[in-house]
Chains A and B, each alone.
Chain A
Amino acid sequence: MSPSGTKVQKKMLLKSMLVALGASVLLTACGGSKGASKEGDGPTPIQMQTLNYATEFIDNTNPIWKEFEKRTSTKLDITWLSPSTSEEKINVMLASGDLPEVTFVESLINPQLQKMIKQGVFWDLTPYIKDYPNLSASNLAEMWTASKVDGKNYVIPRYYPSYGGGAFPILRKDWMDKLGLQTPTNMDQLFEVLKAFKEKDPNGNGQADEVPYAANPDTMGFVYGVFNGTQGQWKLKDDKLVPVITEDASRDAVLWLKKTFDAGLFPKDFAIMKYSQTVDLIRGGNAGGTSQSMNHAWVTGSKIREVVPTADYMPITYLENAGGEKYTPSGTPYYGVYLIPKKVPEAKVKKILGFFDYAYGKEGNELATYGIEGVHYTVQNGRKIPTPQSEKDHLGDGNMNNLIHLISDDMSIGAVGMPDDVYNRNVEIVNERKKIKTPNPGSELYSEAYNKYYPEISKKVSDMRTKVIIGKDTIENYDKFIEQLRNDPTLKQVADEMTEAYHKKMSSQ
């Protein structure tokens, strides 16, 4: 891809740099070169790349890494991506065609990725999966179905539980108990609970300094979901997908949010706050609730328990709308996908699948998260107790368990150091949530027009909503704007393409 003549200039550059600028010792000291690994009969070398949330990345000297290589007879070359910039980096790698043998992409809906899959850049893994017992095990079946593109499995999804994640209200259980309030199950009750937080002084300091709900526009998406009785941006009506943004139920959602804002139950700076600032409000100890995933209900609250030990944020189970439709957040049972480019020979594709098969099995799965029994953990009463060695080898907070997620609800409801009672309550809540199936017809659907036009439309709508909520614009203007959108040919085109994609997906499953 580099233009001709680059080679000559390359040489010239290197020479002139060496001669004119002086080759310092540091050049050799700091300019590392990778030794190319030879392919032979021994362990298969595999290049991989994935996101890593750990603060310290492990390398091939780490015992877990070595253990994986030993047990799968591979030689791993893993490039860790820092989450703060992974999006840019992955896009640049995709755009440059510089793909490792196992390429990680955070979202299947990445437009660049969709184009490349259609152009045949990646292996179709459909015919191979059935040969691997762990990968084709029944508990993972849903994950494989949901991640199909045009009816084929191009990706190895990275498991993530369907339930437990997603931004949904978490409320101060200790405050509700103190004020004798029930856990809300619909929007009116939620409003009343927040109102009581504001007016009845649950923190007992005599001042009305409580922030009933630490909200910003991004974290309130669930309100639209509840009113519409559906998840995501699309609603199924008469076998067609219609955009949620133009539904009347969304208008009701805006009005509910406006009512709540006007009653002073959101921070005054609702419109300008970033997510991290809502978390800061929680840490300040005076917030009655916010929108968070289940494990974060506990993690986010950890700072304030140092001051208020009784502070207890409880995730609520569901909220229902006037039509009695229950809403709880859920998603596809994976987060992030791995792909194998066609440049990898078939024999190696099988080896790579073999690696994942091991890692998705019980033994490999536990190795990635807990390490080696007897070295990194001991089993007492059926629970795995980590040893000091566990921390030394950087287990737990990332690394190998970011490459291979633990196949368990613990991914979204558990956290390091979470006490048993909180964990057990989370298990109960998540089991209740699992009984609720809120439809999400637009999930993992892709269309060209959607990618090209929808984000702009959606941004305008959300700006309009926010302006109405904080009183910078009127509901009449909102109505006018939505009426315009309903007649907008571009949005119609997007909806048509999405409906088509939906039917295609349905028929292929």
Chain B
Amino acid sequence: MIMEVNSSWKDRLFACANGGLLILFSLAMVFPIYYTIVLSFTDSTEYYTRDLILWPHQWSLDAYKYLLGNGLFVNSLMVSVFLATVGTALSLLVTGGLAYAISCRRLRFRKTMMFMILLTFLFTPGLVPVYLIVRNLGLIDSVWSLILPSLTSGWYVLLMKGFFDGIPDSLDEAARIDGCTEISVFWRIIIPLSLPAIVAFGLFFAVGYWNTYFNGIMFINQQSKWPLQVLLQNMLVDPTTMGGGEQNVSLQMNRQLPTETLKMAAVVIATIPIMLVYPFLQKHFATGAMVGSVKE
């Protein structure tokens, strides 16, 4: 905590305005979420016949029963959890390793590597060649097809390098004098020092993996290996939202369009687990992670 030496009225006014603004802001963010959750528990008939529902007359678990009652649900959940854990760990390792290497100024070919990474950020290959590579690696219908092609990106590597650059050089020099090799400097000094950044990146990766959708559609044919988002989307088939139109309308066979309450429940199920991760990571964003090691 920072000591407030001269807590004047100006400061207090600032704190109030600042806090007030933030609270207003949070409310604007929270209302739609609240609405989503409430709707997911609303009886679907009530949803369609009442104007605005801030609190349902009739609570209903139907939407959840339908979604969770799918025999594949647990399967897909496991796939998604696997992706969000193993995938995130691998991504951090690959991104961190590369970012650390190119943050060392004396490294040969460093600039070449950096420019090459930057180019991949700007030139995005089409879907077809990536599909062919995944197929040629024999990864179709394997969960690895959901991890390997999205291990990292130029954006993550360059950004993480920015964090490593911010670490004072005095620290790792000191470590090296103590006889540390590059690897142990990386493990013992760099990683702990950049913990807030690593946690942030871990969160990015985890959310990315959790939301795996398009690759799931492209690379996974067997339903038992579908990640959660693909399963939910399939249960909520609504081909008319993106384009489609007249032709599709007549051809959706006997399947009903998903009700709005069902969609909301799917959102809740798909996002709550990953949202709960954040508060656990939050403490790592607290200030002062670095100070301790400087003093040692």
Contacts and interface: CB of A to CB of B under 8 A. Distances in A.
Given A96-B131, A219-B249, A55 B93 contact: no
Nearest to B242: A84
A6 interface: yes
Contacts of A457: none
The CB with the most chain A CB atoms within 10 A, among B148, B237, B250, is that of: B250
A32 B241 contact: no
B157 interface: no
B245 A218 contact: yes
Given A84-B233, A92-B127, A398-B253, A56 B70 contact: yes
Contact of A30 (B142, B245, B249, B254): B142
> How big is the B interface, by class?
35 or more
A32 B128 contact: no
B48 interface: yes
Contacts of A160: 251
A291 B247 CA distance: 12
Given A32-B225, A412-B250, A416-B254, A89 B142 contact: no
22 contacts: A6-B133, A10-B136, A13-B137, A31-B142, A31-B144, A56-B70, A56-B72, A80-B221, A84-B217, A95-B128, A96-B132, A167-B250, A219-B249, A284-B48, A285-B48, A300-B256, A303-B45, A304-B48, A306-B45, A307-B45, A398-B255, A414-B254
A42 B247 CA distance: 42
A79 B71 contact: no
Contacts of B222: 32, 59
Interface of A: 1-2, 6, 10, 13-14, 17, 21, 24, 26-27, 30-34, 53, 55-57, 59, 79-80, 82-85, 88-89, 92, 95-96, 98, 107, 160, 165-167, 218-219, 221, 274-276, 279-280, 283-285, 291-293, 295-296, 299-300, 302-304, 306-307, 329, 335, 396-398, 402, 411-412, 414-416
A21 B93 contact: yes
A332 B128 CA distance: 31
Contacts of A95: 128
Most chain A C-beta atoms within 10 Å of own C-beta, residue among B44, B127, B133, B223 = B223
A307 B49 contact: yes
A56 to B, nearest CB: 6
B172 interface: no
B61 interface: no
A53 B218 contact: no
B38 to A, nearest CB: 17
B26 interface: no
Contacts, number: 156
Contacts of B30: none
A278 B252 CA distance: 16
B90 interface: yes
A35 to B, nearest CB: 12
A362 B2 CA distance: 82
B234 interface: yes
Nearest to A27: B144
Nearest to B79: A30
Secondary structure of the B contact surface, majority rule: helix
B182 to A, nearest CB: 15
Given A6-B136, A56-B223, A284-B49, A84 B245 contact: no
With most chain B CB atoms within 10 A of its CB, the pick from A79, A280, A296, A402 is: A296
Given A21-B90, A166-B250, A167-B246, A34 B237 contact: no
A280 B241 contact: no
B288 interface: no
B254 A275 contact: no
Nearest to B148: A17
B186 interface: no
B239 interface: yes
Contacts of A31: 142-144
A398 B141 CA distance: 22
A366 to B, nearest CB: 17
A223 B244 CA distance: 19
B165 interface: no
B23 interface: no
A24 B233 contact: no
Contacts of B260: 280
B135 interface: yes
B86 A26 contact: yes
A189 B237 CA distance: 36
Contact of B259 (A13, A219, A283): A283
Interface in B199-228: 214, 217-218, 221-223, 225
Contacts of B223: 56-57, 80
A14 B133 CA distance: 13
B217 A85 contact: yes
A92 B128 contact: yes
A303 B240 contact: no
Contacts of B144: 27, 30-31
Contacts of A79: 221
Nearest to B249: A167
